[in-house]
Amino acid sequence: QNEKLNIAMIGAGGRGRGNLDGVLSENIVALCDVDERLAYSARQACPNAKFYKDFRKMLEQMRNQIDAVVVSTPDHTHAVAAAMAIRMGKHVYCEKPLTRTIWEARTLRDLARRYKVATQMGNQGTASNELRQGVEVIQSGVLGKVTEIHVWSNRPIWPQGIARPKEEMIIPEGLDWELWLGPAPKRPYHDAYHPFKWRGWIDFGTGAIGDMACHTMNMAFWALNLRDPVSIEAETSGVNGETFPKWSIVRYQFPQRGDLPPCKMVWYDGGQKPPVELLQGEQMADSGLLLIGSEGTLYSPGDYGTPFVLLPREKFASYQPPAPSIPRSPGHHQEWINACKGGPAAMSNFDYASALTETALLGNLAIITGERINWDAKRMKAVNCPKADKIIHPTYRKGWSL
């Protein structure tokens, strides 16, 4: 338990730099980033860590010195990096969404089960006491039967609904563009993609729903087991096959799940919001979650399920939440570190995280195809929509595989 882990960071700038701070209690033995400019701060913080640009070389050369890996790359390279590490028996922390595609999410889930490694997705709100209390409150039945859920986000905060740039740009010094592309189809460098703005591009990112649903849907997903919807349809500002739309509204239908009644969930982004009257006089936040039950409504303004309020306020004025039944977290990164050292599995392990990610990505299936998706979860197939197949399971560029 007291031995420090030897951790390698795949992706050291941006979110990777934040994740590095979360694991500095351990030995950081290697840093990997395709862009030297973005890795500068991490390299200053960990002068003894070996620096690589290609995670494949790092994992091959240092496989005996690495216990665990943190993946904080753009969405399109999560799966290839995480899968290679898991096959070597390494524990893996991977940023949200777990993967860019549904097939990749299921593949990582299956690999993590097979190799029995400690895993966790970086939806750090999972660790918050308030989110866990919210799950307990919903599961206590105080809201009655929940049949309607609304989730909205202030994303995208990057360009979407735009066409591919025609001109090429000179690749900045220190960036290995080939490695940045990884398994994605080849295209010339442009700063419309890197840094940060990749999220809006279908080849690289997962749009607003991919970026934020793993946070904002999390409490509802956990409390109500919102997996395997039977249908998903999207209304959007229009899709061009290159980027996600400027705004979207996605409607999910979930069947009965054990004792839980069928329910609908609606996702909104790009400035779209649920009907204001559902808030019963509360202030409409930029992002939020609403669960509407037969006996009451839970409203959580913000991205992470913290804080939350039960409505109508008069009815719940003297409400006392149930005694805690879900263990509280020592902190998101610490929860994973403890699991790596033989402690209990992290809550957002890849079993949980792959299902949450899949629910989010099914929204993108409806957005990109522009069709109602009738989902057969067992077969991983959109029954009525053959063009969804290559979005669910894309082909990688030569030289890359799971």
- State how far the Cα of 381 lies from the Cα of 366, in Å rounded to an integer: 13
Which DSSP string corresponds to 86-142?
HHTT-EEEEPSSS-SSHHHHHHHHHHHHHHT--EEES-GGGG-HHHHHHHHHHHTTT
Which residues of the chain are in CATH 3.30.360.10 domains? 129-159+201-328+358-392
The pTM score is: 0.98
What's the alpha-carbon Rg for the chain, to the nearest Å? 21
Which residues of the chain are in CATH 3.40.50.720 domains? 6-125+331-346
- State how far the Cα of 17 lies from the Cα of 376, in Å rounded to an integer: 39
- State how far the Cα of 13 lies from the Cα of 330, in Å rounded to an integer: 25
- State how far the Cα of 154 lies from the Cα of 26, in Å rounded to an integer: 35
Which DSSP string corresponds to 40-78?
HHHHHH-TTSEEES-HHHHHHHTTTT-SEEEE-S-GGGH
pLDDT (tens place) for every residue of the chain, 402 residues total: 579 999 999 999 999 999 999 999 999 999 999 999 999 999 999 999 999 999 999 999 999 999 999 999 999 999 999 999 999 999 999 999 999 999 999 999 999 999 999 999 999 999 999 999 999 999 999 999 999 999 999 999 999 999 999 999 999 999 999 999 999 999 999 999 999 999 999 999 999 999 999 999 999 999 999 999 999 999 999 999 999 999 999 999 999 999 999 999 999 999 999 999 999 999 999 999 999 999 999 999 999 999 999 999 999 999 999 999 999 999 999 999 999 999 999 999 999 999 999 999 999 999 999 999 999 999 999 999 999 999 999 999 999 999
346 touches 335 (CB < 8 A): yes
- State how far the Cα of 230 lies from the Cα of 263, in Å rounded to an integer: 11
Structure tokens given for 338: 């403890």
Q: Any idea how long the chain is?
A: 402
- State how far the Cα of 355 lies from the Cα of 238, in Å rounded to an integer: 27
Is domain 129-159+201-328+358-392 in CATH 3.30.360.10, yes or no?
yes
Superfamily classification of domain 6-125+331-346: NAD(P)-binding Rossmann-like Domain (3.40.50.720)
Amino acid 206 reads T
Which DSSP string corresponds to 140-208?
TTTT-SEEEEEEE-----S--S-PPPSS--PPPTTB-HHHHHTTSPP----TTTTTTGGGGBTTT--HH
